[in-house]
Amino acid sequence: MQDRLKRLKFRAWHRGTREADYMIGGFFDRYASEWGNEELAWFEIVVEEDDVDIMAWALGTGQPPAHLDHPTLIAAMRRLDYIPLP
């Protein structure tokens, strides 16, 4: 399990843009400790999606495809309570 979490953390924080790193990596850091296998499996699929798509889901300007529409996690992503603001 620890190797799985390490891989996901790396993938969440190494997206290609600082904005995506903060949003996706911050989301992982905030919630991953509360996730079970279902949520981890969902996130493993999510991190393979394009950053602009993931960020659109988090900002509410886009909807995830049906296979990724996990209402509880999408709602958590949209709260943005995982990004430290100055």
Residue pair 15/25 in contact by the 8 Å Cβ criterion: yes
Looking at residue 28, which CATH number applies to its domain? 1.10.150.250
Give residue 81's pLDDT band: very low, low, confident or very high (50, 70, 90): confident
Q: The whole model's pTM is what?
A: 0.89
Contact 82, 30 (CB under 8 A): yes
Q: What is the pLDDT of residues 52-69, one digit of tens each?
A: 999 999 999 999 999 999
Residue 80 sits at φ, ψ, to 5 deg, of 55, 30
Domain count, the chain: 1
Residue 16 lies in a domain: yes
Count CA atoms closer than 13 A to 50's CA, side-chain side.
5
Residue 86 has pLDDT above 90, yes or no: no
Q: What is the pLDDT of residues 30-40, one digit of tens each?
A: 999 999 999 99
